[in-house]
Structure 1
Amino acid sequence: MARRIPLTPEDLADALAELPDWAGDVHGIHRRTKGIDFRTAAAHVLALAAVADDLDHHPDVEISYGNLTVHLLTHAVDAVTGLDVEFARRADELLAAQLDEDA
């Protein structure tokens, strides 16, 4: 999957099937983690910063009461690309590891 080429709706549907906590369409995908305390959400954002720098791809992140939401879109092509899917996979791995540590 080319990193910065827009995904077709079919390719995105296949990718989202492997990322059950993510939703969206070819115009952007997002994941909302509910019931997360502020400190854990902030730690996750810091961990995501390393992924963002590694991939040279930066998400929109929102922390609100009990929620952390990550939005992904490759702005250069105004669509979801393989880069967004790669970021989503890595974000899921990080959050799972952090929640396991906190348990």
Structure 2
Amino acid sequence: MGKEPLLNEEELAEGLGRLPGWSIEEGRLTKKYLFPAFADAVAFVNRVAAVAERMNHHPFISLDYRRVTLKLTTWHSGGITRLDLESARAYDGGESSSD
């Protein structure tokens, strides 16, 4: 896989404007989700995993009962790239509420 270019501040701000609930935390594109039940949270994580495999771009996933946190960065580029924005959009296709 080639090195994906990092987004500049303007590109990042524009991308975030189209991703409700997402923010930058510790240099990663981050979103926290809250689901009605543990099984719903696990189902979401499984869906995210399937999407990540198809895209060959994998997030950090934290699951704590009904809460799921996704953090995205392009490791080989050293920061946030268009791949992270595309992944975030794909994961939001079937979300619950943001926390």
Per the TM superposition, whether the score is higher than 0.5 is yes
- Distance, in Å, in 2 between the alignment partners of 1:53 and 1:74 is 15
Q: Deviations over 1:29-61 (max 9, x none)?
A: 110012542111110111111111111111000
Aligned to 1:41: 41
Unaligned runs of 5+ in 1: none
Q: Could you tell me whether the CA contact under 8 Å between 1:12 and 1:25 is conserved in 2?
A: no
Give percent identity, aligned residues only.
32
Return the offset for 1:26. 8.6
Residues in 2 aligned to 1:36 and 1:71: alpha-carbon distance in whole angstroms: 21
Q: Find the counterpart in structure 2 of residue 53 from structure 1.
A: 53
3-state SS of paired residue (1:19)? coil
Unaligned 5+ residue runs, structure 2?
A: none
Report the AA paired with residue 64 of structure 2: S
Q: What letter is aligned with 1:63?
A: L
Give the number of aligned pairs. 95
Show the counterpart of 1:10. Answer: 10
TM score, norm. by length of structure 1: 0.82
- CA RMSD in angstroms comes to 2.0
Q: How is 1:1-103 mapped onto 2 (pairs within 5 angstroms)?
A: 4-24=4-24, 27-95=27-95
Length-normalised TM-score, structure 2: 0.86
